[in-house]
Amino acid sequence: MLVKAGQNDVRVLVDLRFNAPSSGSTVVTTPSLTVDAQTNGNPGNNGTQTTTGTPVTIALVSGAGNSLVKTFAKNKEPVATSAVLPQHSEFKMPNALLGGHYGVETAVQETTGTPLCAKCPLYVTVLDIPDSLVANSPFSAANPFTFTVTLLPIGEPKGYSPTGLYHDGVLVPMCSASPLSATTHICLTGFQVSKKNGIVATGEADQNGRIGFG
């Protein structure tokens, strides 16, 4: 940055994005700004000066067995929970984020909740992308994120017969029958059931929510 003489008030906004380390509970960022005069002025007015700011500590969020993932996801990036969990998922950002978004705050948690039926699974995937619910959303029907939600055989209750994937308690339609629109915010591109791999649902969406099998 080149600052001309007389410009005494310069404000710089910097967004930091980092990969969390495999150990530890916090990351500390210490800002440092160096001003280097490019022209000679009055005696004492030229030279280099460095100012160090107040360190900022960020707490790292983790979940047992990678059941909770929080990140700042950019375009094309996947956000996935551990594949060994009874129910696990992956959400992939679109090739571009609308509205000039550099990235989106994203959290995915695999947890348990009230089953949708007497013999339905306990497991629920909670996707939280706050920006997906605002007017200037980075997603749209024509620019959705994609997902894969898998329920392993060990997560299926005895006697369970799947009826589909549910989003906030509502059955998710197939994209071929009900594509994304102003009233449809999630749909399925595939739904496979097997004894070996369990149940695998794939699809696309432009809003977050609670996802589970019923």
Amino acid at 158: K
Tell whether the model's pLDDT for residue 181 goes beyond 50.
yes
> If DSSP codes are grouped into helix, strand and coil, which group holds residue 182?
coil
Q: Which two tokens stand for residue 81?
A: 């929970």
Tell which residue, 21, 19, 205, has the closest CA to residue 129: 205
Domain count, the chain: 1
Residue 88 covered by a domain? yes
Q: What is the mean pLDDT of residues 76-104?
A: 95
- Residues with Cβ within 8 Å of 108's Cβ and at least 6 positions away in sequence, in order, are 68, 69, 79, 80, 81, 89, 91, 125, 126, 127, 128
State pLDDT tens for residues 186-202. Answer: 999 999 999 999 999 99
The pTM of the full predicted model, rounded to 2 decimals, is: 0.75
Q: How many CA atoms lie within 13 A of 214 on its CB side?
A: 15
User: Confidence band (pLDDT; 50, 70, 90) for 50?
Assistant: confident
Of the chain, the percentage scoring pLDDT greater than 70 comes to 75
Residue 42 covered by a domain? no
Q: Which two tokens stand for residue 65?
A: 């067995």
Residue 111 covered by a domain? yes
Residue 169 covered by a domain? yes
Residue 135 covered by a domain? yes
**Residue 138's domain spans which residues?**
64-213
Phi-psi region of 66 (alpha: psi -120 to 50; beta: other; left: phi over 0): left
Residue 168 covered by a domain? yes
Do the beta carbons of residue 87 and residue 157 sit within 8 Å?
A: no
Tell whether the model's pLDDT for residue 60 goes beyond 70.
no
Q: What is the mean pLDDT of residues 164-170?
A: 97
Residue 37 covered by a domain? no
User: Confidence band (pLDDT; 50, 70, 90) for 3?
Assistant: very low
Distance from C-alpha of 153 to C-alpha of 147, rounded to nearest angstrom: 20
Residue 32 covered by a domain? no
Tell whether the model's pLDDT for residue 142 goes beyond 80.
yes
